[in-house]
Structure 1
Amino acid sequence: MSMDPKKKTVVQAVSLVVFMGALAWASVPFYDWFCRVTGFGGVTNVSDVANEEILDETIIVRFDASKDHEMPWEFKPMVREIEMRIGETGLVFYEAYNPTDRPIAGSASYNVAPYQAGFFFNKIQCFCFEEQVLQPGERVEMPVTFYVDPEIVTDRDAKYTREITLSYTFYEIDLPEEARQASLVQPAETNNN
């Protein structure tokens, strides 16, 4: 028994819409996975421990900071660049300041350039792993601990890399519930009458 041509067209159209919707839904996690595996787009790796192999060859790591146009914080690296041995653990700090009269939460996105170096850039500790909340007038120094994997010197594309730039961009986000509640608590007034 064959299907009516109109019904067949409707079934095919609905199937196509469902298939395209599934692809759209899966594209973000797939792209994220692809970037983390390949380092494409400057995505870095995360490591639980420091590297053990340290080469005599050095690399310059530059640090950049920016913020979304609506983010009121001041945000900058405390050093602009360091020269370090490949495989050596580096520690740098970024500074953030909330000049407003309200608590502000922020989240940092990051990128490494050139892109092919992202696969070899390993963060051990980073302020970007968690949301940050700064109280009014609060200034903080936020650490980044990292190393450049020695395998960078044997990679077909990345072996010519002599400088890496680590960039962060801060965005304002909604305050977490506990921070919102804490900002609503007013100090109790004492009555001396």
Structure 2
Amino acid sequence: MISSDVLILPGWQNSGPDHWQSLWEARHGYTRVEQSDWMTPKRGDWMIRLEETLLARADAGLPPAVLAAHSLGCILTAAWASHSRNTHLVKAALLVAPGDADQPGLAEQLPTWQPVPMQTLPFPATLLNSTDDPYCTRARAEAMAKAWGARFVDYGQRGHINGESGLGDWEEGHELLKSLVDSAKPS
């Protein structure tokens, strides 16, 4: 896997220094899609930023990207894919601990993120969910995976699969990412 092909899509409030996304970025040279506002995210703004990033990569002659999304980054992936005409610019997506923006409590804090898109993704995807994730129930994560056409992985009790989950640079997750890329159709 070429490091320039992986785009890191953090969730709401970004990913801190102990988060596996930040550690992967530092260790493997992956590129974080930087958003203009991490604290009060607007879905449209985040979708535009992802679109611009993918188009810039294509203009530079880079192959389709692999998305490594966490939490609201998973919802961003689905929202972007449901509207973009450039979904061919993504090879595959690892969707980790989707944050259910329709869930009471989150819906009020993330008012531009409803409804969560439930259309099939036009690229291979794997969705990992923790059974004790406070931001998305297992049933809802399974429903998202089914709607998105993603492979569902029950990751046990790992909280929100973030920096507080004690995963470090999460080599097991990185192996899942590599496996997903290897199984995707050649670009």
TM range (shorter): under 0.3
**TM-score w.r.t. structure 2 length?**
0.26
Of structures 1 and 2, the larger Rg is shown by 1
Indicate the structure with greater strand content. Answer: 1
Point out which structure has higher relative CO (alpha carbons under 8 A, 6+ apart): 1
More helix by share: 2
